[in-house]
Amino acid sequence: QECSKKQKNDDTQSTSVDALSSNDGFEEKNEFHTLANAKILLSDCLACDNCMTSEEGARVFQQNQKELFRILNLNKKCDTSKHKVLAVSICPQSLPYFAAKFNLSVNDAAKRLCGFLKSLGVHYVFDTTIAADFSILESQREFVQRYQRRNQDEHALPMFASACPGWIRYAERVLTNLVTSHICTAKSPQQIMGSLVKGYFARQQNLSPDKIFHVIVAPCYDKKLEALREDFYTALYNSQEVDCVLTSGEIVQIMEQKNVSMKDVTEVAVDSLFDEIKEGDVVRHDGKRSDGYLEHIFKHAAKELFGVDVKEITYKALKNKDFQEVTLEKDGETVLRFAAAYGFRNIQNMVLKLKKGKFLYHFVEVLACPGGCLNGKGQAQTEDGKPDKALLNQMEEVYAAIPVRLPETNLHVQRMYHDWLEGVDSRKVQETLHTKYSAVNQTASNLDIKW
């Protein structure tokens, strides 16, 4: 069985939006019409026909600029009962793209992107770093708990990170419960942000969740698939936690078609989920190309389990630069062994080792894109679909220069655990910040795919 992820077939795998979303009911001519009809192509990075049904494909393709402009146009009409509060949340790995592409500092890029979105009619623009704070904190706690019960529960370790939707989709659709039972149950930052906007923020604003239209700006297309998951849907309000995902590249397409340059846009401070205050300077987590799950969980586990304060982490590259490991030794014994596995070749090798019982790692940060989240196919590609290496290098420099803030030091997060989530170990934390991953199609031969 050949995996179709190896193949590059733009004709069959990169179908245009118009072919799949012609029945969305938005045919009225308006000021957004030209933009709405832009052809958005889904990259063949991860969501190939091995892992995605035709129905899912159609729903993914409907998450494009046309859907955003449908809501913007709706809000311009007189019937206020149908108006939506439009909120856009921006992933931290998207900001370096805008900064590098337009030769701006990351703080200027954030403010100008906010200004541009608000000029379109967006009401609130948020930074999803706070959602990653929650995701990392919950992942840290879960790892320590799994480690402590490793001798009683054969599925406790290794633990795989759950933040990458491409990896999750592949694990659920192609791999078996051999893998899915090891995936951390903490929601990804995107979906925690959905809970924050449609839960916490909606309550603060005295709004019903279905009155908010929540858009995520993200580096990759697979986050569109993630937004469609049934476990991220609230039946009571007929509302998804995330209504639409647009890639960084799709936002730039809007700018280009409106003939707007980021340097000409008025700077507007990014909104906060809390009252009327605004966000300050951009911060990131302690990872080179991602949200830093490996580094944060490693340091936390070293302290909690072995009383060791790890200041700096030393990576050891193995077969390639996208497969690296980190170890902790105490009294001459290796007590923690973590790995970062980026890209499907490394993921496949990792899974085969797990199947053969030769897996030595306690935790693996798994990301489907080679090079990590900054290299998402929704922002780090040239027009002909090839990686833009020069731009990616600039993005990595920009990202590395952003100051690091530990999730534990975010006072807003601590307050929300207490006031909104009813305590760190509450049932509401499990319901709001966690989910469950399980195999959908279990096929024995799938672990033997030729790569």
pLDDT given at position 50: 52
pTM of the shown model = 0.87
pLDDT given at position 5: 44
Per the CB < 8 A criterion, the answer to whether 275 and 416 are in contact is: no
pLDDT digits (tens, 9 = 90+) for 300-350: 999 999 999 999 898 988 878 889 999 999 989 999 999 999 988 898 888
CA distances from residue 379 to 224, 251, 434 in whole angstroms, order as listed: 14, 10, 28
Q: How far apart are CA 13 and CA 41, in angstroms?
A: 9
Show me where the domains of the chain are located: 47-130+189-264, 136-187+285-433
CATH 3.40.50.1780 for domain 47-130+189-264: yes
In the numeric block, the tokens 């858009």 are attached to 215
What tokens does 208 get?
């019903």
Homologous superfamily, domain 136-187+285-433? Fe-only Hydrogenase (Larger Subunit); Chain L, domain 3 (3.40.950.10)
- Fold: same for 47-130+189-264 and 136-187+285-433: no
Q: HSE (CB half, 13 Å, CA atoms) of 44?
A: 17
Per the CB < 8 A criterion, the answer to whether 81 and 204 are in contact is: no
The per-residue pLDDT string of the chain (451 residues; one tens digit each, 9 = 90 and over) reads 444 444 333 333 333 333 333 344 334 444 444 444 443 333 434 444 455 566 666 666 667 788 888 899 888 887 777 889 999 999 999 999 999 999 999 999 999 999 999 999 999 999 999 999 999 999 999 999 999 999 999 889 999 999 998 899 888 888 878 899 999 999 999 999 999 999 999 999 999 999 999 999 999 888 888 888 877 766 556 678 899 999 999 999 999 989 998 888 999 999 999 877 778 899 999 877 777 899 999 999 999 999 999 998 989 888 788 899 999 999 899 999 999 999 888 988 888 888 888 889 999 999 988 888 888 888 877 777 777 889 999 999 999 999 999 999 999 999 999 999 999 999 999 999 999 988 875 444 444 444 3
